[in-house]
Amino acid sequence: MALARPSSALLSCSSSACIRRLNPLLLSACRRPAWAPRRAARRFCAAIASETDVFTSPEIAKSFDFTNEERIYKWWESQGFFKPNFDRGGDPFVIPMPPPNVTGSLHMGHAMFVTLEDIMVRYFRMKGRPALWIPGTDHAGIATQLVVEKMLAAEGVKRTDMTREEFTKKVWEWKEKYGGTITNQIRRLGASCDWSRERFTLDEQLSRAVVEAFVRLHDKGLIYQGSYLVNWSPNLQTAVSDLEVEYSEEPGNLYFIKYRVAGGTRDDFMTIATTRPETLFADVAIAVNPQDKRYAQYVGKLAIVPLTCGRHVPIIADRYVDPEFGTGVLKISPGHDHNDYHIARKLGLPILNVMNKDGTLNDVAGIYSGMDRFEAREKLWSDLVETNLAVKKELYTLRVPRSQRGGEVIEPLISKQWFVTMEPLAEKALHAVENGQLTILPERFEKIYNHWLTNIKDWCISRQLWWGHRIPVWYIVGKKCEEDYIVARTEEEALAKAQEKYGKSVEIYQDPDVLDTWFSSALWPFSTLGWPDLSKEDYKHFYPSTVLETGHDILFFWVARMVMMGIEFTGSVPFSYVYLHGLIRDAEGRKMSKTLGNVIDPLDTIKDYGTDALRFTLSLGTAGQDLNLSIERLTSNKAFTNKLWNAGKFLLQNLPDKSDVSAWDVLLANKFDSEASLQKLPLPECWVVTGLHELIDKVSRSYDKFFFGDAAREIYDFFWGDFADWYIEASKTRLYHSSDKFAAATAQSVLVYVFENILKLLHPFMPFVTEELWQAFPYRKQALMVTPWPTTGLPKDLRSIKRFQNLQSLIRGIRNVRAEYSVEPAKRISASVVATADVLEYVSKEKQVLALLSKLDVQNVNFTESAPGDANQSVHIVADEGLEAYLPLADMVDVSEEVKRLSKRLSKMQSEYDALVARLNSPSFVEKAPEDIVRGVREKASEADEKISLTKNRLAFLQSTIST
């Protein structure tokens, strides 16, 4: 969630901590102290910035300029910061990037994974681990082939008019021209990948790995060829994976058709309900539930399939049939329905195919042969009506399978394909989670992972495309493909094997199909590092990787397959952690789509709000849960960017000049990392440094647990709530209102110390603005992104937290009273602070802070252990046990005028309340008006009554001061 500015929380006052004698009205409205600096700005920039002209200082720029982001990014890359650095030792931290499709352009899903992965890699890089983030793209077989086919079609050329070699050459040309779009856009998000190791799934090395994997699996008996039911795309003329099929609810019809019982009377028939009547030519049985008494007498008999010239099929009983759906009678067409296919395999039923690969009906359909499937549906229904075999047609919402790429309706179809036997591979992947070798975050996805692997089906890995990894299988000319084929790593190797078996004159040809894109992606964590060459330095240093981060929607299609393949080919689980993020939805929780017009473009967002605001907004989600993204959240976090910038501006305007080397030596030497240095600090400084040390510990723990949303919120709350709203304001008493040079120098040291550590903690989330601010300060020896992470376990003075909280409660109480009595912002008022001796001892030392932040007249702030003489004419504040304050009423308002104003206001409020009560006392209103209207009036009356009571108490208090 985006975080709102926390001023209302900071300035509000609980009833237990802020009680005023004779005046219980508590209000939290209060004006915030001004940010405006009070002395002329000094102009200086960091050495790195001045030398490279890369960075802009807050001293110069009013706000952070988003156009600088690309310049900063190029500077990082040119310095080699994205490459793993072994100088500080430590185990490598490695993330393989989920390779986006080479055809893709940046969307919010990409922005999410880039943000989260970059947070991880920047954090562990700063922690000193050699960090490697491997980027790359996927050749995206179907998507890329479609793009190029459309491009050629615009030129009047069809793929079938070309040879395979000519077409693939065109695709490579397209890839070289447009294939870098997505990676350039990913750079725009600040991704600190090692681009020198960028990979493409059709690179020579990765292609060699794919062939090796196929050969090894085949040699082990885990790859086989056969004709089975697959998802078929008639337009693309290829099998497609489950992931490439999207189901949409669309209006359609449910057709009710008579199936006569063979040997029965005219009244002996069974009515089936189907959404696809054209598949009846492929029926091999009629099924009913064995408990359905309506059809018990027909089980074991034969039914006549309509319009098939009397073809008979058995009537069977199976518990799979839902007696509540339709008529409770199911036609079994295993050649065209996945569920029917499994029933047929279980019962040993034959399989009929009525459809050609282009979506037209074949000869099995008789007179309907050659018709398009949808055309045949209409013609068939018309003929059923004419032959009195049609019962009725009802409107029905269909769950239509459509191609993710082409949008056409997918057809379940029997086709000869290559498959991987998955069960033995899945068993090892299950054990990896069971024995703790692999941790899935969030843990609830373990159940989904386990369920899928436990019920896994064999994987169809062949695709009838021209773009992709050609299946390394060669056939013998003149021999049957199913019986005589050779699996080899190269054509030369295949020919040598064929000649050895069939003689020197043998001729071979390669299988025309390519492998499923997910097959090559399953090898990604190790093929990108050099496998199968185990001597490669990258493979030895960086495999297994550390974290695989991706969307939860591809847990089975990609993540589980990588685990299976990694264990199979390397003997190791390919990563230790799987971190799954959710989908990004619009502000109303709807999926983003062009149809709804609610798509938020990351590049447009970056232009308007900056990369840092976008990244910070995306990071605030919870692992595995969908995130609702809104303009309001982006606007809020853009304000956070500006707040950081303004804080940097304030510091730079109040620090020694860069030329004052000795002052900077002292300032930078103060690290407050010892008990002694902390104890010497005044209360506000001790409090904020202690808070920082607590923050470092909390944030580091959150980073280590991958609780990025928690880390972001913790940093945000401390920076805005504690540092900016309280300490920066308190520091002005040292910088502007004190002649004590040591106090000013201490405040400067604390400001720099706290702010530079905030920048370090925040850098993984908001890399650009934090780096720019870091470089704006002089004497920076390193870029922020390679600066060591703050040390944990630093000393803390917990007593200072309690003491400063007391001071804050007192300030809030005074602010609330000022707001309650509408005291002019510029007016300074008197106050008597009453406390025990030990409390007075530390509160009185911060008289300047109290006066500045409460807008008191510092000359008329008194500290005493007993109530003042004019207590009865003062507003009494109880800030905490042992700490109170009295504010003379006459200092704040003209009491007589205030009594008149409140009396007039009370009269108006009473009239409004009486009108509400009259409505509620009217039976016609209470009985006839809608319930929500009546409830609303009751709530208004209750609120009005409470306000009247408070106003009366306040009025009585004012009148008592007049009489006194």
Least confident span in 27-36, 548-557, 750-759:
27-36
Q: Which helix (H) or strand (E) holds 892?
A: helix 889-892
Q: Residue 303 in contact with residue 360, Cβ under 8 Å?
A: no
pLDDT at 17 over 80: no
Whether the predicted pLDDT of 22 surpasses 60: no
CATH number of 896-962, picked from 1.10.287, 2.60.40, 3.40.630, 1.10.3470: 1.10.287
Here the contacts of 647-651 (C-beta below 8 Å, separation 24 or greater) are 647/719, 647/723, 647/724, 647/728, 647/755, 648/58, 648/755, 648/773, 648/776, 649/37, 649/41, 649/58, 649/59, 650/35, 650/37, 650/728, 651/751, 651/752, 651/755, 651/777
Options 3.30.1360.120, 2.30.42.10, 3.90.740.10, 3.40.50.2000; CATH of 233-413: 3.90.740.10
Please check whether the two domains, 233-413 and 896-962, share a CATH topology.
no
Q: What per-residue confidence (pLDDT) applies to 476?
A: 93
Instruction: List all residues 6 or more positions away from 346 whose beta carbon is below 8 Å from its beta carbon.
Output: none
Three-state secondary structure call for residue 95: strand
**DSSP labels for 201-265?**
TTSHHHHHHHHHHHHHHHHTT-EEEEEEEEEEETTTTEEE-GGGEEEEEEEEEEEEEEEEETTS-
Mean pLDDT computed over 848-857: 95
Query: In the prediction, which pLDDT does 49 show?
Result: 44
Helix (H, G, I), strand (E, B) or coil at 783: coil
Residue 595, pLDDT score: 66
Is the per-residue pLDDT at 894 higher than 80? no
pLDDT tens-digit map of 821-834: 888 989 999 999 99
Q: How far apart are CA 647 and CA 719, in angstroms?
A: 10
pLDDT at 2: 45
- CA proximity to 852, closest of 831, 873, 877, 834: 831
SS3 of 344-382: HHHHCCCCCCCECCCCEECHHHHHHCCCEHHHHHHHHHH
**Cα-based distances in Å from 313 to 121, 316, 331, 378, 870:** 63, 9, 10, 24, 104
> Residue 577: in which H helix or E strand, if any?
strand 575-581
Quick one: 776 exposed, middle or buried, by C-beta within 10 A (0-12, 13-18, 19+)? buried
- The answer, yes or no, to whether residue 47 has pLDDT greater than 50, is no
End-to-end Cα separation, the chain, in angstroms? 53
Residues 6+ apart with CB under 8 A from 167: 148, 159, 466, 467
pLDDT tens for each residue of 149-169: 999 999 999 998 999 999 999
User: In this predicted model, what pLDDT tens digit does every residue of 428-470 receive, in sequence order?
Assistant: 999 999 999 999 999 999 999 999 999 999 999 999 999 999 9
| DSSP characters over 398-436 | EEEEEETTT-PBPEEEEEEEEEE--HHHHHHHHHHHHTT
Q: How confident is the model at residue 245 (pLDDT cuts 50, 70, 90)?
A: confident
**Which residues face 261 on adjacent strands?**
303
Topology (CATH level 3) of domain 630-796: Isoleucyl-tRNA Synthetase; Domain 1 (1.10.730)
Least confident range from 56-60, 188-192, 482-486, 758-762: namely 482-486
The answer to whether residue 27 scores a pLDDT higher than 50 is no
Average pLDDT rounded to a whole number, residues 565-569: 98
Higher pLDDT, 324 or 957: 324
H or E stretch including 639? helix 631-653
pLDDT of residue 9: 34
Rounded Cα distance between 815 and 832, Å, is 15
Predicted confidence at residue 3, as pLDDT, reads 45
**SS3 of residue 475 by DSSP:** strand
Share of the chain above pLDDT 70, in %: 94
d(Cα 531, Cα 570) in Å, to the nearest integer? 9
Domain boundaries, the chain: 91-222+424-466+523-627, 233-413, 630-796, 802-893, 896-962
Helix, strand, or coil (residue 304): strand
Q: What is the mean pLDDT of residues 756-767?
A: 98
* Stretch 531-538: mean pLDDT: 95
695-704: long-range pairs with CB below 8 Å, 24+: 695/761, 696/757, 696/761, 696/790, 696/791, 696/792, 696/794, 697/792, 697/793, 699/761, 700/789, 700/790, 700/792, 703/123, 703/764
User: Smallest Cα–Cα separation from 662: which of 755, 541, 745, 554?
Assistant: 745
Q: What does the pLDDT read at residue 354? A: 95
Q: What angle do CA 206, 211, 213 make, to 5 degrees?
A: 90
Q: How distant, in Å, are the alpha carbons of 342, 507, 718 from that of 119?
A: 46, 55, 19
Summarised one tens digit per residue, pLDDT across range 462-515 is 999 999 999 999 999 988 776 789 999 999 999 999 999 999 999 999 999 999
Mean of per-residue pLDDT scores for the chain: 90
Q: What are the tokens at 757?
A: 């550590």
Q: Tell me what percent of the residues of the chain surpass a pLDDT of 90.
A: 70
Q: What is the dihedral of CA 376, 379, 382, 384, to 10 degrees?
A: -50
pLDDT at 910 > cutoff 80: yes
For 638, 676, 809, the CA distances from 24, given in Å and listed in that order, are: 38, 44, 16
Judged against a pLDDT cut of 50, whether residue 126 lies above it is answered with: yes
More confident residue, 595 or 37: 595
What's the average model confidence in pLDDT over 386-404? 93
Q: Does domain 91-222+424-466+523-627 have CATH number 3.40.50.620?
A: yes
What distance in Å separates the CA atoms of residue 926 and residue 919, rounded to the nearest whole number?
8
Q: Show the 3-state SS of 103-148.
A: CCCCCHHHHHHHHHHHHHHHHHHHCCCCEEEECEEECCHHHHHHHH
Judge whether residue 41 has pLDDT over 70. Answer: no
